[in-house]
């Protein structure tokens, strides 16, 4: 109960400050709409179905690019941790790509891939790849050497060694990477939708801003935050379910 109170008191205080600031006209209503107006805009977008269309578009792009990134980054993290030569040979290229913000590549991606879904999926993939890869690499690299001796003692095959020893041992680090990767993918996607999209929460915010609908801008921002928090919460629950020892 105490932890719940500690988690909620600041959001409640900020909401109260928002209500007072708008109710007593401390801030121009165009810049800071009243909470009631934001809620009315939320109901309006729900009733006409636009909000769910934008949410589905953003979630589809985010998870599509994120899953592709995970399918590439996890095996790479494992093999580069096992074979240091591969890691050494590719380090310069990977570090160079890691230092380039994915959003800075939007003009090139639009030029090469057009303004369709492929460009947005590529942005998500680039944004989420490195958190997943680096944590997977670190997790597999830091495995206790005694695990290898245990696998030899039990005469395990390579697949059995990965399944029963190496992957469970690296799982907390892998899940941390997946968690971080989802956050990066979500933020990069919404930013990309602000520039080149005809649907999605980023597009909703951009379109509402052009139409001077600040209340709908707030709806889009709140939906981004709520869905991001929900996704992170589900990742934590999945981690504790699959690897209960990670709580320690």
CATH number where 71 lies: 1.10.3720.10
d(CA 144, CA 165): 10
Q: Per the domain annotation, does 31 fall within a domain?
A: no
**Domains held by the chain: number:** 1
In a domain, 29, yes or no: no
Contact between 140 and 78 under an 8 Å Cβ cutoff? The reply is yes
Rounded Cα distance, 120 and 115, in Å: 8
Residue 234 to residue 181: CA distance in whole angstroms: 14
Structural domain includes residue 238: yes
Tell me the HSE value of 227 on the side-chain side, using a 13 A CA sphere.
23
Within-domain flag for 146 = yes
Task: Kindly state whether residue 19 falls inside one of the protein's structural domains.
Answer: no
The model's pTM is 0.83
Full DSSP string of 131-164: HHHHHHHHHHHTS-HHHHHHHHHTT--HHHHIII
Question: Residue 246's pLDDT is what?
Answer: 58
Domain that residue 115 falls in: 36-247
Alpha-carbon span 105 to 31, nearest angstrom = 31
22 located within any domain: no
Where do the H-state alpha helices sit in the chain?
2-23, 35-47, 50-82, 84-98, 106-113, 117-141, 145-153, 158-161, 167-195, 201-210, 214-242
pLDDT in tens, the chain (248 residues): 666 666 777 888 888 888 888 887 788 877 889 899 999 999 999 999 899 999 999 999 888 999 999 999 999 999 999 888 888 888 888 988 889 888 888 888 888 887 778 888 888 999 999 999 999 999 988 877 676 677 777 777 777 777 777 888 888 889 889 989 988 888 888 777 876 677 889 889 988 988 889 999 999 999 999 998 898 888 788 777 776 665 55
Q: Which two tokens stand for residue 238?
A: 């999945």
Residue 52 to residue 54: CA distance in whole angstroms: 5
CB-CB contact of 87 with 137 (8 Å): yes
Supply 208's token pair: 């509402």
Tell me if 26 is assigned to some domain. Answer: no
Task: Report if residue 30 sits inside a domain.
Answer: no
- What does each C-alpha distance from 52 to 155, 190, 203, 204 come to in angstroms? 53, 15, 13, 11
- 144: tokens are 């206790």
């Amino acid at each position: 109960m105490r932890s719940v109170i500690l988690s909620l008191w600041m959001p409640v205080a900020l909401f109260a400050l928002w209500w007072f600031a708008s109710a007593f006209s401390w801030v121009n209503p165009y810049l800071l709409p009243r909470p009631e107006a934001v809620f009315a805009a939320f109901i309006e977008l729900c009733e006409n179905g636009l909000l769910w269309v934008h949410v589905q578009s953003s979630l589809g792009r985010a998870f599509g690019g994120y899953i592709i990134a995970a399918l590439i980054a996890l095996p790479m993290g494992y093999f580069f941790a096992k074979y240091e030569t591969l890691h050494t040979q590719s380090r310069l290229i990977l570090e160079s790509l890691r230092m380039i913000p994915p959003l800075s590549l939007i003009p090139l991606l639009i030029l090469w891939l057009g303004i369709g879904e492929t460009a947005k999926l590529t942005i998500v993939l680039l944004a989420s790849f490195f958190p997943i890869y680096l944590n997977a690499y670190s997790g597999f690299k830091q495995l206790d050497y005694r695990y290898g001796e245990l696998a030899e003692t039990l005469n395990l095959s390579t697949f059995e060694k990965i399944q029963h020893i190496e992957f469970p041992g690296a799982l907390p680090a892998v899940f941390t990477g997946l968690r971080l990767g989802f956050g990066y993918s979500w933020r990069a996607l919404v930013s990309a939708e602000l520039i080149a999209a005809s649907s999605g929460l980023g597009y909703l915010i951009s379109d509402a801003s052009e139409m001077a609908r600040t209340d709908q801008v707030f709806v889009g921002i709140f939906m981004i935050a709520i869905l991001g928090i929900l996704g992170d919460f589900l990742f934590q629950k999945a981690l504790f379910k699959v690897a209960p020892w990670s709580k320690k």
